[in-house]
Each structure stands twice: as structure tokens, then as C-alpha cells.
Structure 1
Amino acid sequence: MIDPRGRRGTSWDAPFLFLVVIHAASGPGCFAADAPNIVFVIADDLGWNDVGFHGSNQVPTPNIDALAYNGIILNSHYVQPTSSPSRASLFTGKYAIKLGMQGSSLLPGEKRSLPEGKLMPEYFKELGYSTYLVGKWHLGYSKWNETPTFRGFDHHYGFYNGHTSYFDYVGTKTYDGIDYHGFDMRRDGVPSFEDAGHYATDAFTDYSVRVIQEHDTSKPLFLMLTHLAVHAGNTGKLLEAPQEAIDKLRHIEDANRRTYAAMVTKLDESLGTLVETLESKKMLQNTVIVFITDNGAATVAPQFKNWGSNYPLRGVKNTLFEGGIRSVAFIYSPLLIQSGRVSKDLMHITDWLPTLYTAANGDIANLGPEIDGIDQWASMVYDLPSPRNDILLNINEKTRNAALRFYNWKLIVGTSMNGTYNDYYGEAVMGVISETSYNGSAVFDSKAGRVIRQVSYTPLTETEYLQLRAEARVARLDAKAKKNPCDPAGGEVCLYDIPNDPCEENDLAKYFPSVVRRMKRALVEYRKSLVPQLEEAVDIENAAPRLFGFTWNPWLDCKDAVCTIPV
């Protein structure tokens, strides 16, 4: 049925809907047993064009697709252009500029860390949740009190730096021509050498499965699974996947792209296993699953390129074009009344803290007035208009570039990396990406697809999957359409109508000067709250892994390899 706003779903009586929404906003009381479990999954450097529900026929992602179709595909979900800034915004609900985290990601042996202040897991602990971080941290570890178990997580299994290798968990960083190698995999701060040889995606999935299986269901679970996949690893072995996974993708001609695709399929398997485990534990009906990527794929890069594809979006990781900051994202939960749809409403990574806090029956007044995130829970549950109409995409005072979304408009001022990666990548770099036909039956019969049919009163059909897939795709302008290229590297200010020009091909700045002026003024206002970027102080002489049993380890409050976690 079509409602008056043209959205698919149940027709609601207006007064009744008003009362329901008011009830949802106020919450039924903070009883832990009533609060939903939250499983928040972050893929690393996953490309827009590397999931089936956005139109890719090349990389099979049946479990991801099944969850996306049966949930809400978030087609206008924005993040920061790199990892640490995105995670900082997620955990705090604040724009990165308010934290001094708007620049580059943290490096191994660097003193920077996420500033002090209450983080997402701490808020959920106060609501009675058991909190777990599985996988990547990347928000500082020069001191023990900067590490996950001192920032609100009951347990952490994973690594501290931006990446490590997928099998041996050795992270390598080169400073002044010297390679520094260190083991980077821990269980609650203790190096987990015994896990070497276990493929990272599988290791994190297996740990998460045990967490769910052993969870005391009298308390709600907050599980954040932040995968290493599909970030590139160390120089010399950028991409790693089990050979049997690679061998299933022989239709992909480029060997690097094939390995990358295998890494994506392992990520997809992880989602299917998690959903299956939640259902076997009888937890799925009261669980909210969120899936996002922290930034766009690094199709090409000076280092750590991963052969992912953001095409047809423009740009890559590190840029403020859509390919760098428009994130693959969806939410799935049986608690969503109006699911099975594509949302094109604006959403920012900062919104997850207030949104999930409300879902957990928390009072968002407890989050304080300084957060930038907006509560979108009622909008998601009932398909109401989003309360967000603008997003500060970033201001980087060092590189002198910035971007802003305002309703349908996007303004870009300045450029990233001297404009080196302002073009279109994916197909444009790797040649025409070979495709197979999309296998809707594989989505329908995937682990996630089968489980969803068991728990859903109105499961979607394969035909409905294909309809949603078509709606979630974006495309470049027709070859005959008017285009006005804009390159901010040349000093131009670029203005785009994103809903009609998602691939940023037609600059409208000269046609709408009043819009440009208004958005520039908004950037000036945002600039007033900017905290200068934290000093990028690499202390490798004191942080060198050889000083700590060849591990990347907190060093400012440690002197040698026997340094232990303070009690």
C-alpha cells in the first residue's frame, strides 16, 4: 500500500500514529530486560559498488543483501573520509572538528588519541548492557587508559592500530627508512599470540559467536564488531584471503580484485553466521543489527590500496567526494515496523549514538546538548520524515578543504591530497569489471535469508528484492545530459544537486550563487567550533615494538616487555 508521501508500507490512522510516536520517543522505562540487543558491524574501506544491493553483480554478498533488503537500506548515510575520524564521530556523537580529529588517521607509535569524555559503550553500560568490542580500535593506545577496556568496553578482542596482517597479525610501519614490525592482536589487552594463523575475519566472527552463545540474556548485549576487512594489509601482501575463497571467484580476471572480492565474501559469511547464531540463541527478535563502512574504498592510493570500487561515485577514501564519504549502510531488526525499503533521507555517523540510545530506552537528554548526532529511531521504525536536513561533512584547516550537505545541495571547498584522486575509479582504473548475473536465489537461500523467513511475519519475495535493488542503485548522468565539470583542486567552489546528480558531474555553483553564499556562511559558523587538530607526534623511539616483546604496546606508562595492564 502507498501512503500519502508515496512510501510503501501500512497505512496509518494519523491520530493513532501520533500517539505511537510519542510513546516511542518517551520510552517505556529503562529496564535492561526490555532493551534490545545491539550488534554494530563496521566494514573497513568497503566500496559502494562492492555489495549486491547497490547493483554489483561481480562480488556475491547474499547475507548482506538479505539483511539490507529486509531492513532499511540507508542510501544517504555519510561518514568521515578516513578511519579514526569516523570512529571518533561514532563513539562521541560529535563532528570530528569538535574533537581535533578532523585530519588524518592515527599512526602506529603516535601519541594522539581520542580525547577524554564519555563514549558510546559507557552510555550503554549505564543502561545495563554488556559491552564488547571485537576487532579494530584505531583511537589511540599510547597509555593504557586510552585503550578499549578503559573507555567503556567490558571486553576487547582485536588490534589497536589501523590495520594488521590477516593471518600472522604483524603490523609494519616504516619511519625514516626503517621498518618496525609488531604483533597486534589482543584479548583484553594481553597479546594473543596463539591466534596467529587464524584468518582475521573468521577469528573475529568466531569470537563474536562465542560472545552471543555465552551471553546472559537477562542483560542486553552491545556488540561492536569492527572488522579488519577489507582494509589492505602490509606492503608486499596488501590483500589476503583463504585460497578456497579466492578460487570461487575465477570470473574476476584481475588477481588483486579477485582476492579483494574473496575478502568481501568472507565478510558476508560473517554476517550470515552472526544472524544464525542470534536466532539459535533466541535473541534475534529483540536485536538491532547495523552495518556500515567507515569510509569509501581505497581503489587507488599512495599506499594501502585495496582494489575496491566506489564506482559510479566520484573519488575514493580520503576525499570529500561521494566515493570517499557516502557509506554502504543498512539497519535490520524485527523491531522495525516499516522495513523493506530504501531510505534516501540524510543520515550521519554521529546519529547512531542518540538513535540507538533511544532504541535502548535511554533518555537522549543524558547525552548532553553538545552532541551533533540526531535521534532517527522513530523515523526508522515508522518511516517518518528524517529530522536531519544538513550535515557538516568535514572542515580540515590544514588542507584547507571542507564540505557540507544542506537538503539536496552539497558544497565542496578546496581539495584533498592536491586533487590527485578527484576522478572516477573502479571500472575506470581496473578496466571493465567482469560481471556475472545477479543471483537473487542465493540471497533468498542464504543463511540470513533463511533465518529472516523464519522470524518475519511478512518476509520479502525475490521479486521485491530486485525492486529494492533497482531503487538503491545510483547512476551517472546520461551521456547526452548537460554537464559542467568542477575540480576544486583548481580553486573552484563546487555545488551539486546530489539527489539528481549523485556522481557529482554537473557543477551548479554559477547558477545558484545565493545557495553557495548561504552554505559558505554555514561553514564559517561551523568553523567557530573547530578544535585545532591534535599534534601528530610519532614517538617511535619509545614505542618501538622491539621494546615490548615485538608487540605494538602502550608505552608512555610502560618501560619494558613485562609491562602489564593496570588493575
Structure 2
Amino acid sequence: MKMFILCFSVVLLINNVLSFVLSEGKPHIIFIIADDLGWNDVSFHGGNQIPTPNLDALAYNGVILNSHYVQSMGTPSRAALFTGKYPTKLGMQGPSITVAESRTLPEGKILPQYLKEMGYSTYLVGKWDLGYSRWNATPTQRGFDHHFGYFNEYTSYYDYLSTWKFNNKEYTGFDLRYDKTPSWENVGKYATDLFTEYGVNVIQNHDVSTPLFLMMSHLAVHSGNEGKPLEAPQETINKFKHIVDANRRTYAAMVSKLDDAVGTLVEALASRDMLQNSIVVFISDNGAPTQGHFRNWGSNYPLRGIKDTLFEGGIRSVACIWSPLLVQSARVSRDLMHITDWLPTLFTAAGGDSGLLDLDIDGIDQWASLVYELPSARNDILLNIDEKTRNAALRLSNWKLIVGSSNNGSFNGFLGQPVLENIQEPEYDATAVYNSPAGRSIKKVSYNTPLEIDDYVRIRIRATVKCVANGEKNPCDPSTNPVCLYDIPSDPCEENDLAKFFPSVVRRLKRSLVEYRKDLLPQIEQESNIERADPKLFKYTWNPWLDCSDLQCTS
């Protein structure tokens, strides 16, 4: 009898949600991307050093995606997100696009175009990073109604200048624009605040009868130009006096401003009565570069590896989803999910028929799994094949195979170092999560009984990844070993190589890599022409340069 009542209650709840969706129309979709954010730099993963109360409120009241994978760098991740395809099918599996490169995201319908055809207003705020050598490759020509942000891999947080070196000569250009027009008037405003202000303005002026797709692709927490790689308001930096290292302290302030931005955006949705029919997704495009190029002092602890590696710290991304449409929420999902899955998942969430999508996509529709906690249809993920570096990795069920190395194996020995020292150890404040702008807003629109502080603590424990205490330590360096094989659920820190114990599993995963290799499109050549792209030709602005000779060129 109890089972019957439970089943009846679940069916009733599902029917109520479906009725609500039908009455409210297509859900608004707010997709937030952090840049180079470390696994350990959100407090819902168990770290106390950097509180992220707004993100924690979203995560605890939604679904924490603890097995969400991305590509190891920004351009490939964004290519996968927008197309629903593995970058190997696009020739985009290599490094991120730099200035003066002619390569761009290949032609074909992408996520904002699918949603635009379904009646959505589409906005991109922040980073593009998919090429801009010609205007027809820029966001407003690829499905976004408007773009307020920058084209390159990074720009500065206050002056929006991006400096690159070619043949020992530096080239500096301005990189902030509204659609096609440089936005000089916003110099001096902190980027995270500026992008948030624009996003809030979009929400406040939006016709709520039209579904909104707002992609907030933040600059934070990517490092900037040499000499001032990390930037944040001093009053925010001062909140982190418990952190000994000055660079880590500034990084913490950058994360904190990002968290504030999330809370402000959720509050804006609530103020327009849009939140009760919204889907809010938060991900990082890859792990933090704790060391090396574009170092930002982020932490992927306890995961091994950093950005631009195929270890978990480089490709296992911070991610969560929140929506009143989620019937089974307040949980931690360990089901495999890949960044390519967002295109079919959001398309279905918006009421689309997945049969109308490109048949060649690799993304899997996860909407039913997210809403009802049904088993995920995904069993494997091609993590990458880079034919130039001979570096590849594949996840199949609980197994992960790594072949070869990036960066000549420079970071293979990085084993997930703990965060830097604190002057005093801070305590986690679950009450701050409960009372955060996001927390307060979510409580007002929740179908379920609002979570209590004890619930937050319980979910946080489940979301915290720990290395196996007193577990087997059989390290593997893929630059010297033919392959490395890990059982990720049992060994999330990739400390125990099992290749010699499970040769049949190694053979199976190798065969899968060979099959994926058949669809690989060789990397698009990285042709750079700084003489034609030199920003001084465009009033010291980074600008499309092919078929253009000055800043006024708009086609």
C-alpha cells in the first residue's frame, strides 16, 4: 500500500510539472560557463577556502553533475558544446584558437540556431573563442541575436586589452564589443560585474512571453596578460586574508565575484517571475591551469592533472543544473555526461523533437535522466584523440584509458596538490548558502519542501571526491608507459594503474579508440597572419581581418 501511494505521488508530481510546462511555455535557459575554474574552487565540492554560497544553493537544490566531462581546453570544449559533436569530427581537437589565426568553427547548425528556430531570443555574453577571422564566423552570424563580450581566448578584466607575442614582438589590441561595435565606453569596469550587469539588463527588458536563451560565458577565472594575470576589486581580495599566497588570494576574489554574479542573475530572474520556468546550468570549460601557461592558481584537488591534460583534473568539470522542472533534485549524479550532451538535452527540454537534430551528433539526450533520475543512456565518452601529439583518452563505463601525453608529459607528475596554506582554517557556513541571493530566490519557486541546512551538509558530503585511503599506489606515466588504465569510481585520483591486470579491458578500449579514429578529421591548420590581423590596422582593436581593411568593415 505504501509503495502504491509513493508511486501515485510521483506520477501526480510528474503530471503537475508537465502541466506547468505546458501552461508556461518553453523554459528560459540560462547557461553559465566559467573559464578555467578548478574542481576544488567551489565549496559544494568540499573545499572551505573559497565560499561559493550562490553556486552551492543552485547545486544543492538541483543536481550536482559529478561525472561531467569536457575537453581539456576552451576552444574544443566550446566547439563540442555548440555542435553536439566530438571535436575530432570538426578538426577542432587541438589547441585553442589564438589571435591572427584564420581557423574558425566549421559551418553547420549550432545550439543557438536550433533554439532561435524554436522561437528563442538568443544572447551571448562574454567569451566566444571560436574564431573571428571573418565576420560570418562571429556570434551574431552564428545564431545569437546579440553578443556583448570578446572574441579571443582572454582579455584584461578592466582595460579589455589582449596582448600576444609573435616573433618576440608584442601586439596589443582592444577586445570588447557590443555586436560588431567596439565598446570603449566600458573601460574601467570589472569584467565579471560588467557582463552580469548586461545579463541582468537583458532579463529586466525581456518580453517574458518569449523564451530566452542567455549564455553567460565569463572571462572569470582565466588569467590575463603577463604582468597582471589576476585581477579583482581590492575590497573583495581583502575578504580572503586567511589565504597566505597573494596570487591565490586574488584568484579566490575572482571566484567570489563569479559566485556573486550567479546570485545576482538568479535574483533578476526571480524579480521578473521567470525563475519558476527556467533552467540554469553552470559548468567550467576545463580544469584549472595550476601550473604552466595561463597559470591562474586554481586547484583541481584531489584530482590529478591540470588544464590541457587528459587526467581528471583537466577534463572532469565543475557542473550542476537547477530547475523547478527537475522532479528528482537535491542529489549528486555520478552518471556519465559529456559537454556534447547539452545540445540534445536542452533541445528536448525546450520541447524539440530530437529526431530533427543532425544525425551525426555525438551528444546524448540526458533530459529524462536529469528530470526523473533515470539511468543515463551514456556508457562511454571519447575524451579526445590528438593525432599530432599522439595523445588520446576514452572513458567506458567505470574504465578510463589514457594513451600518450600533452605538453611532452610536462605535467604528468602533477598529482592534485592540496590548496595553498591558510593563515587560519575557515569553517563552512551552510547558513550563508541558505540566505544567499540564489538560495532565497530558489526557495520561493521550489515545488518540493525547501531544503534545510542539514540537507545542504549531507549533499555536500556526497559531492566531495576523496582519494582512496590506504589504497593501492601503482603510478603510471603515459609518456613512458604504452597505456594507463584506471577504474575511476574506485580510483578517482588516478593513482593505481591496472593495465597489466586487465589486458582484455585494455584491448577493448583500444579497439574503441580505433573505431573513433575512423571519424577523425585532421586538425584545421593553424594559419596565422599577424601582418593582416595587426590591431593597429583597426584602431588598435582585435577585429576580423580577412576581407577587411579597417574598423568600419562589417561584412
Aligned to 2:245: 254
2:318 to 308, 325, 328: 328
C-alpha separation in 1, matches of 2:23 and 2:225: 43
Aligned to 1:401: 391
Q: 1:16: Cα distance to partner? A: 5.4
C-alpha separation in 2, matches of 1:39 and 1:136: 15
Contact 2:244 2:420 in 1 (8 A): no
Q: 1:82: Cα distance to partner? A: 0.2
Aligned to 1:459: 450
Q: Which runs of 5+ in 1 are unaligned?
A: 4-9
Where do residues 135-150 of structure 1 align in structure 2 (5 Å cutoff)? Answer: 135-150=126-141
Query: Percent of pairs identical after alignment?
Result: 64
Aligned to 2:185: 194
TM-score by length of 2: 0.96
Q: 1:450: Cα distance to partner? A: 1.0
Where do residues 68-467 of structure 1 align in structure 2 (5 Å cutoff)? Answer: 68-301=59-292, 303-424=293-414, 427=417, 430=420, 435-456=425-446, 457-467=448-458
C-alpha separation in 1, matches of 2:437 and 2:187: 28
2:490 to 500, 503, 518: 500
Contact 1:172 1:180 in 2 (8 A): yes
Give the aligned length.
Answer: 553
Code of the aligned partner of 1:341: R
Q: 1:118: Cα distance to partner? A: 0.5
Secondary structure of the residue aligned to 2:479 is helix
Aligned to 2:7: 12
- Worse overlay, 428-437 or 289-298: 428-437
Q: 1:31: Cα distance to partner? A: 8.4
C-alpha separation in 1, matches of 2:388 and 2:409: 15
C-alpha separation in 1, matches of 2:438 and 2:534: 43
Q: Which runs of 5+ in 2 are unaligned?
A: none
Secondary structure of the residue aligned to 1:490 is coil
Q: 1:299 to 1:365 in 2, by over 3 A?
A: same
Q: 1:427: Cα distance to partner? A: 3.7
C-alpha separation in 2, matches of 1:71 and 1:108: 38
- Worse overlay, 490-499 or 389-398: 490-499
Contact 2:485 2:506 in 1 (8 A): yes
Q: Deviations over 1:258-306 (max 9, x none)?
A: 00000000000000001100000000000000000000000001x2100
Contact 2:57 2:433 in 1 (8 A): yes
Q: 1:423: Cα distance to partner? A: 2.9
Q: Deviations over 1:180-225 (max 9, x none)?
A: 0000000011000001000000000000000000001111000000
Aligned to 1:551: 541
Code of the aligned partner of 1:514: S
C-alpha separation in 1, matches of 2:317 and 2:277: 26
Q: 1:484: Cα distance to partner? A: 1.0
Secondary structure of the residue aligned to 2:108 is coil
Q: 1:386 to 1:14 in 2, by over 3 A?
A: farther
C-alpha separation in 2, matches of 1:14 and 1:530: 48
Contact 2:340 2:364 in 1 (8 A): yes
Code of the aligned partner of 2:168: G
2:517 to 502, 516, 527: 527
Aligned to 1:482: 472
Contact 1:77 1:327 in 2 (8 A): yes
Q: 1:126: Cα distance to partner? A: 0.5
1:38 to 8, 29, 47: 29
Code of the aligned partner of 1:265: S
Contact 1:32 1:129 in 2 (8 A): no
Contact 2:149 2:177 in 1 (8 A): yes
TM-score by length of 1: 0.94
Secondary structure of the residue aligned to 1:489 is coil
Q: CA RMSD in A?
A: 2.2
Q: 1:365: Cα distance to partner? A: 1.1
Q: 1:492: Cα distance to partner? A: 3.0
Q: 1:14 to 1:202 in 2, by over 3 A?
A: closer
C-alpha separation in 2, matches of 1:183 and 1:201: 17
Q: 1:419: Cα distance to partner? A: 1.1
